[in-house]
Amino acid sequence: MTELRQAYITASGTYLPGDPVDNANIEAKLGYVHGKPSKLKKRILASNGILTRHYALDDKQRSTHQNRDLAVAATRECLKGSEIDEKSVDLLAVASTQGDLPLPGLASLVQAELAIGPLEIITTHGVCSASMMALKSAFNQLRVGEKKNAIVVASEMASRLLKKSRYEAVSNLRIDLESEFLRWMLSDGAGAFLLQDKPRWRGLSLRIDWIEIVSFASHYDLCMSCGTNNQSLWSKDFEQNQKNFHDFSWQDYTSYADAEANGALLIRQNLKLLEDVVKVGVDGFLKLINDGKIKADEIDHFVCHYSSHHFKGRILELLKLAGALIPEEKWFTNLYTKGNTGCASIFIALDELLKTGSLKIGQTIFCVVPESGRFANAYMKLTVVGGRDSGAF
């Protein structure tokens, strides 16, 4: 039987494109749909609490970067602070909600731009938990000794779905809360980690104790999607809807232009289901406690990718009712200044936490990433360790 090794996050990096965009300038950056201000923007922004975010767009809604470029910049920032060079990388795992091309996978594009390898690559596609899927894949390879190190990068470029032209292309457009909600929630950015089978020689590393990912897609309908103009067609009652098979997916239309005109390429959020995401996430945390994998009072830093300030209050309420409250002073987030960058959010937050100088050897970091695509939750326990030069690992 193979003896499992340890795996450590030994370096991290972030890349956020352009200058921060505040709430007063957000609509000018994304564009006024048909020249009119949104009637829903203020309501959504007041709920999510985000004050600034970043977009890879210029003032005419033209892309300033590719998603690949964001991932590459974060990776280079990560390697710059590491104790290895890029020629030594054994594995590249890249996560995103959407790459630049339908194919090949984003990891191929990132590898080519970095000019590294030959090496093994992994592309994970999903919503917010895609980064944790990539991280766990790399983590497991280090644990069984297949690789000595890995770069894991999560990158999002949601702005291409949010610019005004996407909405203006829809025939007989009627913007409702579900089709506009994510326009004021999502933004661009990338975060990267270097994983190694040993801690840094000097400084702090984060030992990955475990990662657990649980999907509830068989229990819930679509909550967040792009590629269909009617989420109910993808409900659990699939058989009932087979007669509508001709327009299930954006790829089923006669042309891509027809799909866009029918609203199939708008990014949507089913707000009726959204509150359930919080409950499912908290229930998963309580199960981890019951299984003996974590104790609420041993958590020194709680890093939760909640997408909106509204949900923080709900999480606190449920944890308090369950007797597993994590005091607010232990919470760390940069949602309000860096925005909701989807699957990259947890990496960007951990990178900032690492660089605050507040971590101490022996402390525990607990991370939670809920995903509303069709309901999945990722959990991770980290322990802060010292450098090999100190022997404190």
CATH at 106: 3.40.47.10
Q: What pLDDT is stored for residue 178 in this prediction? A: 85
Q: pLDDT per residue over 18-36, tens digit each?
A: 999 999 999 999 999 999 9
Identify whether residues 189 and 250 lie together within a single domain: no
| pLDDT tens digits for range 243-268 | 556 668 999 999 999 999 999 999 99
Of 176, 196, 216, the position where a domain reaches its end is 196
Number of other CB atoms surrounding residue 391 within 10 Å = 7
How many CA atoms does the CB half-sphere of 379 hold within 13 Å? 17
Q: 146 and 191 share a domain?
A: yes
Neighbours of 302 (CB within 10 A): 21
Identify whether residues 42 and 191 lie together within a single domain.
yes
pLDDT at site 242: 60
Comparing CA positions, the residue from 138, 143, 79, 68 lying closest to residue 106 is 68
Question: Does residue 309 lie within any of the structural domains?
Answer: no
Domain coverage including residue 90: 8-196
pLDDT value at position 274?
86
Q: How far apart are CA 388 and CA 385, in angstroms?
A: 9
Shared domain check, 176 and 48: yes
Residue 189 lies in a domain: yes
- Write down the pLDDT at residue 240: 56
Where b means 16+ CB within 10 Å and e means fewer, 215-243 reads: bbeeebbbbbbbbbbbbebbeeeeeeeee
Domain boundary among 196, 220, 239: 196
Domain contains 249: yes
DSSP state of 214: E
> Distances from the Cα of 160 to the Cαs of 26, 225, 231, 269, in angstroms?
14, 15, 21, 17
Question: In the chain, which residues have pLDDT < 50?
Answer: none
Statement to judge: residues 39 and 107 lie in one domain: yes
Residue 317 three-state SS: helix
pTM of model > 0.85: yes
**Sign of the Cα pseudo-torsion (208, 389, 354, 153, in order):** negative
Same-domain pairing of 54 and 129: yes
Tell me, yes or no, whether 18 lies in a domain: yes
With tokens 């000019």, the residue in question is: 115
Among 149, 176, 196, the domain-final residue is: 196
Q: Are residues 106 and 21 both part of a single domain?
A: yes
